[in-house]
Amino acid sequence: AQSVSQHNHHVILSEAASLELGCNYSYGGTVNLFWYVQYPGQHLQLLLKYFSGDPLVKGIKGFEAEFIKSKFSFNLRKPSVQWSDTAEYFCAVTLGGYQKVTFGTGTKLQVIP
């Protein structure tokens, strides 16, 4: 069964700092990859997704992620974070053509003004 690891459980950054959140998955076949964000007290929203093609994916709010197949990774990045980026971030994986989603344990990002 596939699994998803997010090694950073809690990240604290100052505004304007650069962000990189790690995501690794364990499955050797075709995968679809997602990052979701959950703002305090709200539901999960899709930030970006990778299905195929260019491994560098751009999402909403200035986020991007890079799929590195050889490393089984899909790290999330943002060059300059804002206080409003304070939220929980979840990496998720589905096997190609199969709809069950496996979520990582989430990374809590706290941005200090």
CA distance 17 to 24: 23
When asked if residue 11 is in the footprint of another protein (CB under 8 A), the reply is no
Answer for which of 15, 51, 83, 110 binds another protein (CB under 8 A) is 51
Q: 62 in helix, strand or coil? A: helix
Q: Which of 28, 40, 43, 53 binds another protein (CB under 8 A)?
A: 43
42 is a site residue for another protein (CB under 8 A): yes
Number of residues that bind another protein (CB under 8 A): 25
Is the Cβ–Cβ distance between 23 and 73 less than 8 Å?
Answer: yes
Residue type, 95: L
- Strand 73-78 to strand 64-68: parallel, antiparallel, or no bridges (unpaired)? antiparallel
77 binds another protein (CB under 8 A): no
Among 34, 63, 67, 74, binds another protein (CB under 8 A): 34
